[in-house]
Amino acid sequence: MRIDLRGRVAVVTGASSGIGRAAAVLLAGAGMRVVLGARRADRIQEAAERIRGAGGEARWLRADVTQAEDMARLVGEATAAYGRLDLLVANAGVGYFGRLESTPLAEARRLLDVNLLGTIHGIQAAVPVMRAQGSGHLLLVSSIVGKRASPGNGVYCATKFAQVALAESLRLELAEAGIQVSVVCPVSTTTEFFETARARSPLRFDPTGPVYSAEQVAGVILRVARRPRPEAMVYPPARLMVILNAIAPRVVDTLVAAYWKRVRPGL
């Protein structure tokens, strides 16, 4: 089933930079009316103006995903302005690079607040509207490390696994309500993500492995918005590792350890 996105309404969290911003621009380019949320109001205002300048429809609202009321206001902005909500892109996310044994609990809580509770807040704000409509699509931006964890970012991986679990559970809960649920799993993507996380982290991580641009990941988000599916890997061969990990985790441990020894000696 291919959805005609023209005239439909999307809310994108974390739309001030990287994947979220690129997704908002692409979805608007496909004819969606988009509402951009993030904490940096100047950035989302600029992105919304750019979309409008290109002939699209966009609104913006300063919204912190850790605040349930902010997510309710963001969804309210979409329904007040456009009368419906067809797609929630739950994209806002932050990282921390350090060994789990010495990760400060304040950092762990911050990741859980933004990546996990932030996703839940968005879902809880969007689902009642979609239920009432009898249609909608929740699209969660997880990660390849939400399918197979790597060393040096255990809490981050846990939050990304948690998003996959939320999506699996929701797919079954919402099947009868006509609401689609998808997870998009990017690999390394050149955004502000690494710089922002590095500023708070003891380890230095850079994009590694197959590296994508935010626009390429947004392209996958657009395809999934048009043709909802449970899970999309931005780098499709990564699925082989996920399958192998399900049947032989020790083999994947060995492969991942060897890879990480090469790219991050000393971790």
Specify the residue, 179 or 183, whose C-beta has the smaller distance to ligand NAP: 183
Is 156 a known active-site residue?
yes
> In the set 56, 93, 154, 228, which binds ligand NAP (CB under 6 A)?
93
Residue carrying structure tokens 């969606």: 32
Site for ligand NAP in 126-145 (CB under 6 A): 141, 143
Establish if 73 lies at the interface with ligand NAP (CB under 6 A). Answer: no
d(CA 166, CA 121): 12
Establish if 188 lies at the interface with ligand NAP (CB under 6 A). Answer: yes
Site for ligand NAP in 163-182 (CB under 6 A): none
Establish if 19 lies at the interface with ligand NAP (CB under 6 A). Answer: yes
> In the set 189, 201, 218, 225, which binds ligand NAP (CB under 6 A)?
189
Q: Are residues 141 and 89 in contact, defined by beta-carbon separation less than 8 angstroms?
A: yes
Nearest approach, Cβ of residue 21 and ligand NAP (Å): 7
Residues of the shown chain interacting with ligand NAP in the complex, contacts defined by CB under 6 A: 13-20, 38-40, 43, 64-66, 91-94, 114, 141, 143, 186, 188-189, 191-193, 196, 207, 214
